[in-house]
Amino acid sequence: MSKQCCSIDDHLKPQKNEAHQHKYDALGGQLCCLRTEKIYGKEHGQNEHHEHKNHDHSHGHDHDHDHSHDIEGKTVFELFLPAAVSLILLLTAISLDNYFPQDWFSGGLRLGWFIVAYIPVGLPVIKEAIESIRYKDFFSEFFLMVIATMGAFAIGEYPEAVAVMLFYAVGEVFQTLAVSRAKGNIKSLLDQRPDEVTVLKERRPVVIKAEDAKIGDIIQLKPGEKLGLDGELISESASYNTSALTGESKPDTKLKGDAVLAGMINLTTVSQIRVTAAYSDSKLSKILELVQDAAAQKAPTELFIRKFAKVYTPIIVFLSIGITLLPALFVDNYLFNDWLYRALVFLVISCPCALVISIPLGYFGGIGAASHNGILFKGSNFLDILANVQNVVIDKTGTMTEGVFKVQEVIINPGFDKDEILKIVNALESQSTHPVATAIHNYVGEVDDTIKLVGTEEIAGHGLKTTVNGNELLVGNFKLLDKFNISHDTDTSNIVYTVIAISYNGKFAGYLTISDSIKVDAKAAVDKLHRMNIRVTMLSGDKSAVVDHVARQLGIDNAYGDLLPEDKVKKVKEIRDRNGSVAFVGDGVNDAPVIALSDAGIAMGGLGSDAVIETANIVIQDDMPSKIPMAINISKQTKKIVWQNIVLAFSIKAIVLILGAGGLANMWEAVFADVGVALLAILNAVRIQRMKF
């Protein structure tokens, strides 16, 4: 069945068909536009073929051609058909040569037969070689294979000429399928965002394009449908499959007022959601942008292999010429055909395909495996960086704790009206999105709209300041009171809760204590990091007593509280200078500078601010601390596989190259050293997609 919507070109950009709306089952499985259609669908092939004809070939043939474009709408059977035809003709010819000799099978007819056997597998490679030369890439893998097989024809080694190209063609098909499979996890994300939504207009459901929906519109979401925009649930409750965002299929129950995000699938009754963000600003839209851009960021190993191939391949070509001609000066019984054959073997062995395909595939597989587990890497270079991290520095609130606070006690001095103070504090905190503000709102209740605030401002790392009825109101930590010279005699050093100080009309009015709960997997995450020999440090703007209490519960190595954003930056610099590379994990706007400074910045993407997600190199979509060691493990496994492939390719090629130059290896060993090693490296690279982390 050919695909009718959302074709994906080489650059992973969706092309939407407005008439189609995706359908899903109750568990979130997509019932249309399946992955096999994405890879093998007719329109996909046509789009990719068109893209291939028009893209910049200086990229496409620089030992970095995208094997996925070779699919061109064909089934697996159609992909292997040319090789199958060539194989049948080759086996028939070998049988007529050796097992069932016929008088008529000789001379021009025999040559013609082998040429016909060569054409199905050789012609596409010849075309690619010509294209490479047109765009000044003279030493592509295609060019090497054409020279080698044409040379074999020239010296009468017809069966080996066809066999070399046949095995090379089969290898190319396997590489194509492997690359497509590696892209599968990432490509499938592109259909996670519906093109259309049902909004209520004058209490009647109307289907419109998701991008035309406005903030404040009410979306009606039926069971099995996927939400197209971020919003706030206005129904009493609903259960959602959040696997598109988190990689976890466990249903997540939301209550009235909770945030629901684009990509979530309604599992129960019809629910209504008020849109809170434009289509292009939804969390899922940002995730898709990150995923689409990830492949552009290359790891240093990958970049080195590209540069190496550019130098290595011309050297091999000139060495093969030397192998052919130079022995004439030193060997008494020099035979041109013998030394040309050795040179051709040398050429086939030298093709760097195993390296230039399997290494990018290994990194792409790592990115795909991570995204499948709800972890987004913005580039393969960050896989390398995270694999070598020696220190993980974490924020506390919203990272290792739930970020859901509850008011524990309220201490208001006798000279103030407790109810009045709480009302004005609630009015001020209603202008903040901090979890503390939510806790105060939940404790006090609805905001009194008659309270007028003048000149409200947020003082970074301290709290909020405003004027009410002509009187100054300060709400924040005790450093805020010290900043404005508000005297107080409260000792909060032994309180293991977060303390919110209040000053009104220049006098200390009292304080509230607020507690937060530790995330269920936080302790396990720290333990796993320790088993990896990674030091864990906690930095927080919260008071030191609270930070130390949480750190002791989690077994964290070092913890520092009462830090301003600039203090966090200093601490991270100190840790990096003293103990090596640092990954910083945070979720708030004030964490953005530290994330930008660290070697690898990790953002908690579910509750995290957009500024942090934009700045970070890695995004954890479900805010689970256990994904931190998982991301590091995926990075380490990816790096290990990449280096296994490098060692495998170089060692086998080096051995067979020496044997080939000495005349001890023939074309069959050469084919194994090229295609065989490439296939082994590819199979090794795709292993990461099947690993459990």
| Surface-to-core class of residue 54, CB atoms within 10 Å of its CB (0-12 exposed, 13-18 middle, 19+ buried) | exposed
Between helices 141-154 and 158-187, what is the axis angle to 10°? 160
Name the one residue in this structure whose structure tokens are 């930095």.
Answer: 539
Residue 693 to residues 368, 372, 627: CA-CA distances in angstroms? 13, 11, 9
Residue 452 to residues 95, 203, 268, 504: CA-CA distances in angstroms? 96, 35, 42, 15
Running DSSP on this structure, what letter comes out for residue 226?
A: B
List the Cα angle 461/465/470 in 5-degree steps: 170
Neighbours of 395 (CB within 10 A): 26
**Closest to 602 (Cα-Cα) out of 367, 386, 379:** 386
Tokens of 670: 């050469």
Helix boundaries (H) for 487-626: 522-531, 544-554, 565-579, 592-597, 610-615
Q: Over the range 651-685, which residues count as b (16 or more CB within 10 Å of their CB) and which as e?
A: ebbeebbebbbeeebebebbbbbbbbbbbbbbebb
Name the one residue in this structure whose structure tokens are 């007022």.
Answer: 257
Indicate the pairing of strand 471-476 with strand 463-468.
Answer: antiparallel
Backbone phi, then psi, for 535, in 5-degree steps? -80, 140
Q: How distant is the alpha carbon of residue 107 from its chain centre? A: 57
Hey, is 514 helix, strand or coil?
A: strand
The reply to whether 395 belongs to the active site is yes
Phi-psi region of 634 (alpha: psi -120 to 50; beta: other; left: phi over 0): alpha
| Surface-to-core class of residue 32, CB atoms within 10 Å of its CB (0-12 exposed, 13-18 middle, 19+ buried) | middle
> If residue 406 lies in a helix (H) or strand (E), which one and from where to where?
strand 401-412
Tokens of 494: 């032994």
**Closest to 151 (Cα-Cα) out of 164, 139, 138, 140:** 164
Q: How distant is the alpha carbon of residue 97 from its chain centre? A: 53
For 4-123, list the strands marked E by DSSP. Answer: 7-8, 14-15
Residue 172 to residues 7, 83, 184, 283, 598: CA-CA distances in angstroms? 23, 11, 18, 38, 40
The one catalytic residue in 62, 195, 217, 395 is 395
Backbone phi, then psi, for 312, in 5-degree steps? -65, -45
Q: Which sequence positions are flagged as catalytic? A: 395
